[in-house]
Amino acid sequence: MIHPHIADALKVPDLVRLTDGAVLLRFESMKIYSALAAVRHLLDRGAVRPGQTLVDSSSGIYAYALALACHRYGLHCHIVGSTTVDATTLAQLEILGATVERVTPSQNLKLDQELRVRRVREILAERPDVHWMRQYHDEVHYLGYQEVADLVAATVPDRPLTVVGGVGSGASTGGLTEHLRRRDPTVRLVGVQPFGSVTFGSQDHHDPEAIIAGIGSSIPFDNVHHHLYDAVHWMDFTHACSGAVALLREHAVFAGLSTGAAYLAATHEARRHPDRLHLVIGADTGHRYVERVFARHREASDLVSLKPTEVASPEDMTMPWSTMAWNRAAWQRPDTSRSHPHPPADTHPPADPHSTADAHGNPPSKESAA
């Protein structure tokens, strides 16, 4: 088919057989699905109008997706960027017409994320006509993954399915699995986290080489619905790097660091559940990681030699790689420095994915935690 815009072509993933037990869902940039559907929905509802400015914080992938969506639908895009936004992405954003500002450089990912959110709030106070997309909190970002779920359901073999991918904002793994489970409630979801992320309680563990913040978070994300996840893997940079290098070496797939982490987690899950097909989410390509990952390919470990520590609770996790059966447990945020899961709560379904903030991006009160 002839696509009306490059974004419509770039969003479509490829399904690649890796092993008998694993298939890669390979995207050039996965969040294009999320951004296109979210912006189209907001326009259709009248929450935003053509020519208006959309703003959000991003470490790179979502920034590119939002810039494409704004180009597609005739809106302006303003990004408060992480210090990890690479030169290639930055150049594309600027040429696409997006304005980009980056917060003061910080080696502290939590401070970097907090500074970005603070700056977005300042922009909203200065310019009330700007709409905050709130990729971390607004469930409008779940909408686009219905199309991905339809593609997967129509393509993959009739076999029990497990989705494996970086948790990130929660919309990609959560949205895809939520839509798949409407057809088959037995679909499993395995989330991958970097050490240092608050999302599944690893914030007290420091990885000195951590650059995979895009699959974790230093602040709470409302778009992460913990009760969707059956298992969680926490791993450090060196393990994610080994996974990315192995994926290129063994299958000629040049993918990002989060994909490498998901591939490594899937190899373990496939050994434990050989009856299931593991769908590895490849969120982006490896171009952003040439120098810090692929140029160091000689340092990568053989995946056969890598094994996780299996733990019963987040308190027991240990670096460099831990895994835990999450069992679709809800998440409780106590007034302490550490959060704990409690038993599965089927009485807590996801909120309506069609809900969104108001026309100016004003968040619900629970977002005060961010």
C-alpha span between 335 and 123 (Å, rounded): 30
C-alpha span between 101 and 83 (Å, rounded): 10
Positions in the chain short of pLDDT 70? 83-84, 105-112, 211-214, 333-370
Confirm if 241 and 293 have CB atoms less than 8 A apart: yes
C-alpha span between 113 and 196 (Å, rounded): 13
For 277, phi then psi, to 5°, come to -100, 125
Strand partners, 23: 17, 279
Confirm if 83 and 105 have CB atoms less than 8 A apart: yes
DSSP 187: -
Would you state the pLDDT for residue 59?
Answer: 72
Would you state the pLDDT for residue 126?
Answer: 93
**Which residues have C-beta within 8 Å of that of residue 85, sequence separation ≥ 6?**
58, 59, 60, 63, 79, 93, 100, 102
For the stretch 223-278, pLDDT in tens is 999 999 999 999 999 999 999 999 999 999 999 999 999 999 999 999 999 999 99
Q: Would you call 280 exposed, middle or buried from its count of C-beta atoms within 10 A (0-12, 13-18, 19+)?
A: buried
Q: Which two tokens stand for residue 125?
A: 């106070």
Would you state the pLDDT for residue 347?
Answer: 29
